[in-house]
Every structure is written in C-alpha cells, then in structure tokens.
Amino acid sequence: MAAAGWLSIGEVAERTGLSVSAIRFYESAGLVFPRRNSGGQRRFHRADKRTPTQRDWNRLSRGFRDELQARIDILTRMRNRLDGCIGCGCLSLTNCALYNADDRARRQGTGPRYLLGEPE
C-alpha cells in the first residue's frame, strides 16, 4: 500500500473500475497528474478529485473521430461488397473479389484488400 494519503495506480484502478492502461492514457492526455515516488512509481493523492470536463472529453474525442470514421467506412464498404458478392452467386475463382489464391493480397498489407477494391 502507498504512503498515507497517496494511492498507487493499481489502487486507483481498483477504486474507480478503470484499467491501469486507461489511467496512464488519461495521464498522457493531461487529465490526471500523479506524482512519482523515489522509485518512479505513480502516486495519486486521495484529495485529487478532478473530474474531466466536457471540454476535456471533446479534446480527447477529436483524436478518435477520424480513426473511427475511417474504420466505419471500411466496414461499410466491406458489408456492401460482401452483400453483392453473395447475391451474385458467381462462385468464380478468377473474378471473385473475395478469392485470394496463394495469399496474393498479403503484398498489399493487412486488411480486406480485395473488398476495398484495391488492384492486385
């Protein structure tokens, strides 16, 4: 247990229900300000009861919005292409956008390369 009046990051996580990684993220985002003990461990004072404001959350969420929208767009395109492929019933191993003989798509990186309409 930490010194009187101070909580370790694990104790804060247990009391708040947050993961330790979330608390570290909030620290990196400037939402919480722990002190460090002589061993470099984070210590949170029991009296620190700052609640993130709407402005804090808006600032954080801006960083996620573009990434989330990009993922939504990819999933939407995948869904739309998959519906079309299933609906056509082509079962063609030479023209089907889903077929990936000999794992050719790996040269283009991870993810649904053919469903995104990327050339071979």
Q: How far apart are CA 110 and CA 61, in angstroms?
A: 26
For residue 78, is pLDDT > 80? no
For the stretch 107-120, pLDDT in tens is 777 666 666 665 55
**From-to residues of CATH 1.10.1660.10 in the chain:** 6-45
The domain made up of 6-45 is a member of CATH 3.40.50.10680: no
The arithmetic mean of pLDDT across residues 82-88, rounded, is 56
Confidence of residue 24 (pLDDT cuts 50, 70, 90): very high
CA angle 50, 56, 57 (to 5 degrees): 110
The arithmetic mean of pLDDT across residues 90-119, rounded, is 61
- Positive or negative, the CA dihedral 16, 20, 22, 28 is positive
Mean pLDDT, all residues of the chain: 76
Residue of higher predicted confidence among 18 and 63:
18
Q: How far apart are CA 22 and CA 14, in angstroms?
A: 12
The arithmetic mean of pLDDT across residues 26-54, rounded, is 83
